[in-house]
């Protein structure tokens, strides 16, 4: 659906995007992560045809893509990070959406507008001037505008920034629902906890290079240095942590109230062996679970010093 | 209809509606018409037994002296040879011309800066359809105002027993085409710059430059300005819309209609060239500020 080959953007001597190769299949929710200045926006702008690549190739819908391809641009919906403020202030939300519906020559535009406004919870304000909308309402209006023409790909740049928790849930549900209907969704966001909830695959860009790209679970597993098993016990004997440390597969162990925290290597599943050992010690494990690395934790493990260690995790070599 | 033409039509409709519901256009028209009224009334008061004598009216005296100083006595004689209407036409047209041109340049820069232009180009519109829509709006609003001004001056003529001479009508037509080229230069200035302030500065700078060049072709008092502008004029007069305006008005006086229409055609060609360069500039620079 979205493919890039050696996509590069240089501004003078500065390389903002360096030979990035993406291959995003249809129907996927794809997260695009990176710190500020990593090359995220430049990559997205090239994919949208707003910025011309210095080198490389972009293919959308299996066809070569360039800004001239207005026909392909019709199949893309875009939610920018910020809705333009101070423009079209005389329009109501409906008139604003009608303008875009007309640009896309949509049939039965009002029906579609009503349906989408209902879905994002803006049905009551659709005939109000959108210049009076809050940031969150503008963000939802922006999503409605992007979905108006039923695009095959939806690009979302920081889609939940400025939204209250209820708004975040509405947008998250909308993204998941749109994806269930077969839409490919490309999200760029700093709110990693949300990315973790919705994305099936993520890519991490750093210094213009694609450093890692994988399915969410595999990526987290790869980036994790070790794993922690948490065991809740009826009682936690004082010497248990020291005894557990002596086991072959245990790297470290500690007790916290009635929970035993055991660090194990990231390869292999040691829960069964640990349970068996505890039962042999006449202890009753109430629950045993593995604490997984969050995307946020994984993301902060990548920095300038260790970036080369992560290079090649499904991304660039 | 291809996608760019469709997008241009949709955007132009919005821009026209927006102009019609905002006060700016009406304020500029009112200023133009008030100036027209004052100039016609002042002219009538400056007529004595020997005809029009601008020294009889303090305002006209000031205007007359300034114009003689800048363009020479022959120019001023021609300007008032058919009564007040030719001069009034130019003066009353200026507020609307400047309002439309500067507001479009300002708007282009603002929409680029806040990302509105980028938002439009996410869909089937592009930078070119955006500026063509603005141009269509400006052309239509100019035509409406010229008709309003014509009716106003016809009524003023009848009320004061004066007639609108042939030079008035030639100038009215050429002013319309001249304004198209000026709007095209506004788009060009916008395409070169990243924000409203610099776009307006470039646009006004270009206008001033063209005025200085055309002044060089008249008999001006200052030899320094004449020498300076004549050098510029020879080199770059071809890019100035005022050159073609001056050419058309000079030839029509001697009844050369062919050259008059050639002047209009050249204004249109110049507009097309400037718009094409703007199109290329937007393509190269993009729609992001």
The minimum CA-CA distance between A84 and chain B, rounded to whole Å, is: 5
When mean pLDDT is compared across A13-22, A128-137, B142-151, B252-261, the lowest value belongs to B252-261
Report how far residue A123's alpha carbon sits from residue A280's, in angstroms, rounded to the nearest whole number: 62
The answer to whether residue B127 scores a pLDDT higher than 90 is: no
Q: Which residue among B21, B114, B123 places its CB closest to the CB of A104? A: B123
Please tell me the predicted confidence (pLDDT) of residue A317.
39
Report how far residue B253's alpha carbon sits from residue A237's, in angstroms, rounded to the nearest whole number: 112
The answer to whether residue B221 scores a pLDDT higher than 70 is: no
Report how far residue B286's alpha carbon sits from residue B289's, in angstroms, rounded to the nearest whole number: 8
Tell me which chain B residue has its CA closest to the CA of residue A150: B123
- Interface residue B280 vs chain A (CB under 8 A): no
When mean pLDDT is compared across A265-269, B89-93, B116-120, the lowest value belongs to A265-269
Contact A9, A304 (CB under 8 A): no
Report how far residue A250's alpha carbon sits from residue A228's, in angstroms, rounded to the nearest whole number: 10
Beta strands in chain B (DSSP E): 47-48, 51-52
Question: Which CATH topology does A225-291 take?
Answer: Alpha-Beta Plaits (3.30.70)
Measured CA distances, A240 to A253, A270, A290, B177, B248 (Å): 9, 17, 19, 93, 102
Q: Which residue among B7, B114, B116 places its CB closest to the CB of A103? A: B7
Averaged confidence pLDDT in chain B: 86
Q: Which residue among B3, B120, B288 places its CB closest to the CB of A70? A: B3
Please tell me the predicted confidence (pLDDT) of residue A310.
52
Please tell me the predicted confidence (pLDDT) of residue A297.
67
Q: Which residue among A70, A77, A82 places its CB closest to the CB of B124? A: A70
Mutation target for B interface from A9, A44, A84: give the one with most B CBs within 10 A. Answer: A84
B119 CB neighbours in chain A (<8 A) are: 78, 80, 83-84
The answer to whether residue B227 scores a pLDDT higher than 80 is: no
Any alpha helices (H) in chain B, and if so which ranges?
Answer: 3-21, 23-45, 58-71, 73-80, 85-114, 116-121, 127-159, 166-192, 196-216, 223-236, 241-253, 257-285
Instruction: Tell if the CB–CB gap between A103 and B288 is shorter than 8 Å.
Output: no
Element (H, E) at B171: helix B166-192
When mean pLDDT is compared across A8-12, A280-284, B228-232, the lowest value belongs to B228-232
The minimum CA-CA distance between B278 and chain A, rounded to whole Å, is: 16
**Buried-exposed string B133-145: b where 16+ CB fall within 10 A, e elsewhere:** bbbbbbbbbbebb
Mean pLDDT of all residues in B279-289: 81
ipTM of the assembly? Answer: 0.81
Please tell me the predicted confidence (pLDDT) of residue A49.
82
Instruction: Tell if the CB–CB gap between B110 and A86 is shorter than 8 Å.
Output: yes
Contact A155, A143 (CB under 8 A): no
Range among A52-66, A234-248, B97-111 with highest mean pLDDT value: B97-111
Q: How many C-beta atoms surround the C-beta of residue B21 within 10 A?
A: 9
pLDDT band at A1 (very low <50, low <70, confident <90, very high): confident
pLDDT band at A223 (very low <50, low <70, confident <90, very high): low
The single residue listed with the structure tokens 């086991």 is A247
The minimum CA-CA distance between B276 and chain A, rounded to whole Å, is: 16
Report how far residue A177's alpha carbon sits from residue A171's, in angstroms, rounded to the nearest whole number: 10
- Interface residue A150 vs chain B (CB under 8 A): no
- Interface residue B122 vs chain A (CB under 8 A): yes
Please tell me the predicted confidence (pLDDT) of residue A202.
87
- Interface residue B148 vs chain A (CB under 8 A): no
CATH of domain A2-221: 3.40.50.300
pLDDT band at A39 (very low <50, low <70, confident <90, very high): confident
Instruction: Tell if the CB–CB gap between B288 and A50 is shorter than 8 Å.
Output: yes
A-facing residues of B in 82-111 (CB < 8 A) are 110-111
The answer to whether residue A309 scores a pLDDT higher than 60 is: no
- Interface residue B114 vs chain A (CB under 8 A): yes
The minimum CA-CA distance between B138 and chain A, rounded to whole Å, is: 18
| Percent of chain B topping pLDDT 70 | 92
Domain ranges of chain A: 2-221, 225-291
- Interface residue A230 vs chain B (CB under 8 A): no
pLDDT band at A159 (very low <50, low <70, confident <90, very high): confident
pLDDT band at B53 (very low <50, low <70, confident <90, very high): confident
Please tell me the predicted confidence (pLDDT) of residue B30.
97
To the nearest 10°, the Cα dihedral for A168, A46, A208, A200?
Answer: 40
B11 CB neighbours in chain A (<8 A) are: 103
B288 CB neighbours in chain A (<8 A) are: 45, 50-51
The answer to whether residue A171 scores a pLDDT higher than 50 is: yes
| Percent of chain A topping pLDDT 90 | 22
| Nearest by Cα to A211 from A40, A28, A55 | A40
Please tell me the predicted confidence (pLDDT) of residue B163.
86
| Nearest by Cα to B282 from B176, B101, B134 | B134
Tell me which chain A residue has its CA closest to the CA of residue B121: A50
pLDDT band at A316 (very low <50, low <70, confident <90, very high): very low
When mean pLDDT is compared across A19-23, A159-163, B218-222, B249-253, the lowest value belongs to B218-222
The minimum CA-CA distance between A216 and chain B, rounded to whole Å, is: 29
Contact B225, B215 (CB under 8 A): yes
- Interface residue B119 vs chain A (CB under 8 A): yes
Q: Which residues pair with B132 in a beta bridge?
A: none
Could you tell me which residue, B214 or B85, shows the higher pLDDT? B85
Instruction: Tell if the CB–CB gap between B122 and A73 is shorter than 8 Å.
Output: yes
pLDDT band at B106 (very low <50, low <70, confident <90, very high): very high
Report how far residue A134's alpha carbon sits from residue A128's, in angstroms, rounded to the nearest whole number: 12
pLDDT band at A6 (very low <50, low <70, confident <90, very high): very high
CA angle A170, A150, A142 (to 5 degrees): 45
CA–chain centroid gap for A246, Å, is 40
Mean pLDDT of all residues in A97-102: 93
- Interface residue A149 vs chain B (CB under 8 A): yes
Instruction: Tell if the CB–CB gap between B116 and A78 is shorter than 8 Å.
Output: no
The minimum CA-CA distance between B1 and chain A, rounded to whole Å, is: 11
Report how far residue B284's alpha carbon sits from residue B92's, in angstroms, rounded to the nearest whole number: 38
The minimum CA-CA distance between A116 and chain B, rounded to whole Å, is: 18
Mean pLDDT of all residues in A283-302: 74
Q: Which residue among B116, B118, B124 places its CB closest to the CB of A103? A: B124
B110 CB neighbours in chain A (<8 A) are: 86-87
Please tell me the predicted confidence (pLDDT) of residue A101.
93
The answer to whether residue A134 scores a pLDDT higher than 80 is: yes
- Interface residue A277 vs chain B (CB under 8 A): no
A-facing residues of B in 12-41 (CB < 8 A) are 14, 18, 21-22
Instruction: Tell if the CB–CB gap between B3 and A90 is shorter than 8 Å.
Output: no
Mean pLDDT of all residues in A167-179: 86
Mean pLDDT of all residues in B59-76: 78
Range among A57-61, B31-35, B278-282 with highest mean pLDDT value: B31-35
Q: Which residue among A50, A86, A100 places its CB closest to the CB of B123? A: A100
Report how far residue B96's alpha carbon sits from residue B175's, in angstroms, rounded to the nearest whole number: 12
């Amino acid at each position: 659906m979205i493919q890039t080959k050696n996509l590069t953007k240089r501004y003078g001597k500065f390389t903002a995007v360096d030979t990035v190769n993406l291959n995003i299949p249809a129907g996927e929710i794809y997260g695009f992560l990176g710190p500020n200045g990593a090359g995220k926006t430049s990559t997205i702008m090239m994919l949208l045809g707003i910025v011309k690549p210095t080198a490389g190739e972009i293919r959308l819908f299996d066809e070569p893509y360039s800004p001239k391809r207005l026909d392909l641009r019709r199949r893309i919906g875009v939610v920018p990070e910020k809705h333009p403020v101070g423009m079209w202030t005389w329009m109501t939300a409906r008139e604003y959406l009608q303008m875009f519906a007309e640009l896309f020559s949509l049939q039965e535009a009002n029906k579609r507008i009503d349906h989408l406004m209902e879905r994002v919870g803006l049905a009551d304000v659709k005939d109000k001037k959108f210049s009076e909308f809050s940031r969150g309402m503008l963000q939802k209006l922006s999503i409605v505008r992007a979905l108006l023409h039923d695009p095959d790909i939806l690009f979302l740049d920081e889609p939940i920034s400025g939204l209250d928790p209820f708004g975040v849930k509405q947008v998250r549900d909308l993204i998941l629902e749109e994806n269930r209907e077969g839409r490919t969704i490309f999200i760029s966001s700093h709110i990693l906890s949300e990315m973790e909830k919705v994305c099936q695959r993520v890519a991490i860009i750093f210094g213009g290079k694609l450093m890692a790209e994988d399915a969410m679970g595999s990526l987290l597993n790869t980036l994790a240095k070790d794993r922690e098993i948490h065991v809740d016990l009826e009682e936690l004997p004082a010497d248990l942590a020291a005894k557990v440390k002596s086991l072959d597969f245990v790297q470290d162990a500690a007790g916290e109230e009635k929970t035993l925290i055991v660090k194990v290597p990231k390869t292999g599943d040691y829960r069964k062996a640990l349970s068996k050992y505890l039962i042999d010690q006449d202890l009753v494990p109430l629950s045993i679970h593995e604490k997984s690395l969050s995307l946020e934790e994984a993301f902060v493990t990548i920095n300038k010093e260790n970036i080369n260690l992560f290079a090649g995790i499904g991304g660039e070599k | 209809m291809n996608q760019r033409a469709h997008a241009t039509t949709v955007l132009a409709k919005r821009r026209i509606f927006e102009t019609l519901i905002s006060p700016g256009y009406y304020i500029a028209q009112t200023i133009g018409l008030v100036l027209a009224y004052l100039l016609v009334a002042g002219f009538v008061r400056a007529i004595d037994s020997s005809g029009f004598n601008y020294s009889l009216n303090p305002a006209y005296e000031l205007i007359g002296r300034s114009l003689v100083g800048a363009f020479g006595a022959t120019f001023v004689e021609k300007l008032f040879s058919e009564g007040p209407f030719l001069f009034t036409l130019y003066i009353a047209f200026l507020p609307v011309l400047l309002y439309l041109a500067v507001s479009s340049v300002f708007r282009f820069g603002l929409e680029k800066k806040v990302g509105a232009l980028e938002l439009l180009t996410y869909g089937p519109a592009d930078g070119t359809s955006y500026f063509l829509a603005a141009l269509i709006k400006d052309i239509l609003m100019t035509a409406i105002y010229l008709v309003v001004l014509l009716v106003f001056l016809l009524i003023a003529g009848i009320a004061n027993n004066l007639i609108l001479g042939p030079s008035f009508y030639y100038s009215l037509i050429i002013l319309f085409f001249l304004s198209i080229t000026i709007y095209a230069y506004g788009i060009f200035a916008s395409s070169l710059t990243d924000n409203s302030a610099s776009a307006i500065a470039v646009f006004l700078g270009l206008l001033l430059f063209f005025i200085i060049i055309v002044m060089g072709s008249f008999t001006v008092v200052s030899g320094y300005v004449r020498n300076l502008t004549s050098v510029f004029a020879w080199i770059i007069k071809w890019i100035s819309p005022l050159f073609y305006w001056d050419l058309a008005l000079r030839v029509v006086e001697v009844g050369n209609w062919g050259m008059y229409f050639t002047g209009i055609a050249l204004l249109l060609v110049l507009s097309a060239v400037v718009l094409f360069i703007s199109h290329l500039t937007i393509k190269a620079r993009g729609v992001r500020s």
